[in-house]
Copies of this chain bind each other. A is one copy, B any other.
């Protein structure tokens, strides 16, 4: 038998628009019209087409549609780490918003690796109409090199200057200021910061705000996971801090666990603050005081800004969102500030 495989449906061949057209006794154009909801088709034919189409189990190839239409109606979003609850929430809101406008979202996870991120960006770029870069970790120069010119793009939580893309930012610095105000009002003088990935722009913003408002703060390179918070928390205690600000809630969870293991009471002897306000922050003990970042709004606005570029405007707005401090149980009065602790701190701080 020739190479052509059995068209009667039993074989593995994909059902195409041509199959439907043939069975229904119409042209492919008509099938296309019917299935795309154009009302310029004879109801009788339309009915027949629909029925045959259903009977054959026909589903138009999105790939072919994409090629023919010149647009895939799909956008990509690349995130550093889906396992960090911050990102799924952004992605979900983004997906819902885009979905309402008939766009699908494909998600890619770079696993906090700048190299992988660059590769993913290029890869995803080849198959989407637009791109959202969530807190990208790659260097600005690399980013600039890799973001395809002409591909509508929005970048969140990352200032790229001069802007190569539209941006939606959360003012992390403001969040940090609120934390510092809260902590100093409680009497804390010696404060440690468990810093996030050096590649994180949010981390840089927070660090900047910290050093501006509180030049003497102890900065401890940490990371973005609970494991790392657990590892770093002891150093904060040893540095004589009475309060520790964590890069994110996950890190704070780790710190909380370590402090407990160390027998350091929270908030009695040590206050702990996180960033993000992930759902679990309200369920750990003590409930975590944290800076709530508007994750859902970040997702929604990202889509809106992207959509505007998709439409026509090459411009691309620049949106800035505000975080809010959520005070729970993990912060309290700095009753632990003694001469002794300060002395230790001084020594440790150099």
Residues of A at the B interface (CB closer than 8 Å) are: 5, 7-14, 57, 59-64, 66-67, 69-72, 74, 82-83, 85, 88-89, 91-92, 95, 104-109, 111, 122-123, 125-127, 129, 148-152, 225-227, 230, 250, 253-254, 256-257, 260, 279-280, 282-285, 287, 309-314
- CA gap between A91 and B311 in the complex, in Å: 32
Task: Give 15 new A-B contacts, CB below 8 A, not counting A7-B71, A59-B125.
Answer: A7-B129, A8-B150, A10-B151, A59-B148, A61-B126, A67-B67, A82-B91, A82-B107, A83-B92, A92-B109, A104-B108, A104-B123, A105-B108, A254-B283, A284-B284
**From A14, A227, A283, residue with most partner B Cβ within 10 Å:** A283
- CA gap between A260 and B286 in the complex, in Å: 10
Nearest-neighbor residue (CB-CB) of A125 within chain B? B59
Q: How far is the CB of A300 from chain B (nearest CB, A)?
A: 15
Point out the residues of chain B lying under 8 angstroms from A285, CB to CB: 256-257, 260, 284-285
| Contact of A149 (CB < 8 Å), options: B57, B230, B280, B282 | B57
Copies in the complex: 2
Nearest-neighbor residue (CB-CB) of A63 within chain B? B66
Q: How far is the CB of A154 from chain B (nearest CB, A)?
A: 12
Interface pair A150/B88, CB less than 8 Å apart: no
Point out the residues of chain B lying under 8 angstroms from A106, CB to CB: 106-107
Interface pair B8/A152, CB less than 8 Å apart: yes
Can you sample 9 A-B contacts with CB below 8 Å? A5-B70, A8-B151, A9-B312, A12-B150, A104-B108, A226-B279, A256-B283, A280-B280, A285-B285
Interface pair A92/B111, CB less than 8 Å apart: yes
Point out the residues of chain B lying under 8 angstroms from A107, CB to CB: 82, 106-107
**From A71, A83, A108, A282, residue with most partner B Cβ within 10 Å:** A83
Nearest-neighbor residue (CB-CB) of A122 within chain B? B59
- CA gap between A71 and B63 in the complex, in Å: 9
- CA gap between A82 and B91 in the complex, in Å: 9
Known: A82-B92, A85-B85, A285-B284. A9 touches B59 (CB 8 A): no
- CA gap between A61 and B313 in the complex, in Å: 19
Interface pair A126/B59, CB less than 8 Å apart: yes
- CA gap between A311 and B7 in the complex, in Å: 9
Point out the residues of chain B lying under 8 angstroms from A71, CB to CB: 7
Q: How far is the CB of A146 from chain B (nearest CB, A)?
A: 10
Nearest-neighbor residue (CB-CB) of A69 within chain B? B7
Interface pair A67/B57, CB less than 8 Å apart: no
Nearest-neighbor residue (CB-CB) of A253 within chain B? B283
Nearest-neighbor residue (CB-CB) of A111 within chain B? B92
- CA gap between A92 and B110 in the complex, in Å: 9
Nearest-neighbor residue (CB-CB) of A151 within chain B? B8
- CA gap between A262 and B190 in the complex, in Å: 35
Point out the residues of chain B lying under 8 angstroms from A227, CB to CB: 279
| Contact of A11 (CB < 8 Å), options: B5, B150, B279 | B150
Interface pair B63/A127, CB less than 8 Å apart: yes
Q: Which 6 A-B pairs have the closest CB atoms?
A: A7-B71, A62-B127, A82-B88, A62-B126, A106-B106, A7-B70
